Structure 1
């Protein structure tokens, strides 16, 4: 009878020890996977943030250059025109052309503010 109890005791202890050992190994493996997953997720978030920042910066520069091109075209058109007579200066047509150029300069300056905001500090420096 004592042999049966000893076998039963050894079997139960070895089963419990095996279960505890298996649980400990599973916990260790899951922790390692969790750390790896967290590191990977952090790297993905950093990459997405960097990519989004690059996209915003590119859009700001593109917007700036687009406004600069429009402004330059309007100014070149105005500069190439012969000096109008005094009565034409006061006319609505001449006022509208200068008003368009003024509006284009204003929009260009607004896009410059966006470039300064998005770009590195060196971009906004004026020597």
Structure 2
């Protein structure tokens, strides 16, 4: 009978040990699976955030360039207008377009990064300088029937050159940020 009890005890203990070992292995396996799922979820979340950030940046940059185009069109109209004793409606339209560039620039500042914001600031500075020149030239005494472009040809050509170079510089800085190097 002692042999039977010993066999029963050994069988019971081995069954309990096997159950404990199975539970322990299951717990470790579950823990590893959960850790892997958490890592995958974090990675997907980071990728989703990066994609959203890139979309926001792209929208801000495109909005800024579009606002610049509107301002350029208004400034071009002012260059072609003849002088007058009082500022014409082109000033109001140009001012409105400049405000649009300021608002778009604010989004670029928020979305960053710093080198893109600096390039945008350079574009904005050239626009502001051109607008100020036009205001100054338009306020010259003895308004002429000659367009500003013809009266101040060198400044007009310099303004066009500034526009082009600053815009290209902005786009060159933006492309790597958006992952488009070419």
The answer, yes or no, to whether TM exceeds 0.5 is yes
TM-score (norm 2): 0.60
Give the equivalent residue in structure 1 for 2:78.
78
Q: Structure 2: give runs of 5+ residues left out of the alignment.
A: 123-182
Higher helix share: 1
Aligned residues: 120
RMSD: 1.7
- Which 4+ runs in 1 deviate beyond 4 A? none
Matches of residues 96-115 of structure 1 in structure 2 within 5 Å?
97-115=90-108
Identify the structure with bigger relative contact order (alpha carbons < 8 Å, sequence gap 6+).
1
* CA-to-aligned-CA distance 1:62-90 (integer Å, 9 cap, x gap): 11011111111111112112224x3xx36
Partners of 1:67 and 1:124 in 2: CA distance: 15
C-alpha distance in structure 2 between counterparts of 1:67 and 1:27, whole Å:
59
Displacement after TM superposition at 1:4 (Å): 2.4
Tell which structure's C-alpha radius of gyration is larger: 1
- Tell me by how many angstroms 1:105 deviates: 0.2
| TM-score (ref. length: structure 1) | 0.84
Q: Distance in 2 between matches of 1:41 and 1:76?
A: 52
